[in-house]
Amino acid sequence: MIQKIDHRSNSNAEKLKIVFQRSYKVEAQLLGAKNFPPLSRTLSSYKESNNDFFGFYDHDRLTAVIEMKNEEFSMHIQSLVVDPEYFRRGIARALIIFVMEKFDTRKFTVETGKNNSPARSLYEGFGFKLVKTYLAEENIEKVRYQKA
């Protein structure tokens, strides 16, 4: 089940942080990143965010999250994380379908690590096109996709 998360509550922000941390540890390994900035994200950054968070729940357990940022001319997938215990179950795909149906916009954008093959394959499977490759913090190569 997918539902919007009230990320301003302590309890929900803590649950968000747990899923993000578990997922980002795997991504850091994929990218070979010694210092991965998303792993330093604070609890208050979830609570104070202006983004929308939608969670995928297995019964009452939060197993995945998609974080959406409303930009001037598009919706940006700020983050898409899945608890590693739930990898390869189609949850990330379900979350992308959900937001593409929910948000009435002409363009979606997303960024991920260049060496994050699972994420890149997922976005490319939805027709996202590579528009930019760049070097981000901590010398992490990133890619930006968009779908118009």
Contacts 24+ apart (CB under 8 A), 92-98: 92/64, 92/122, 93/122, 93/125, 94/2, 94/56, 95/2, 95/54, 95/56, 95/64, 95/65, 95/66, 96/66, 96/122, 96/123, 96/126, 98/2, 98/54, 98/66
Nearest-angstrom CA–CA distance, 100 and 108? 8
Could you give the maximum distance between any two Cα atoms of the chain, in Å?
39
pLDDT digits 0-9 by tens, 80-111:
999 999 999 999 999 999 999 999 899 999 99
pLDDT digits 0-9 by tens, 13-53:
999 999 999 999 999 999 999 889 999 999 999 999 999 99
User: Hey, where are the domains in the chain?
Assistant: 2-105
Q: Which CATH architecture has domain 2-105?
A: 3-Layer(aba) Sandwich (3.40)
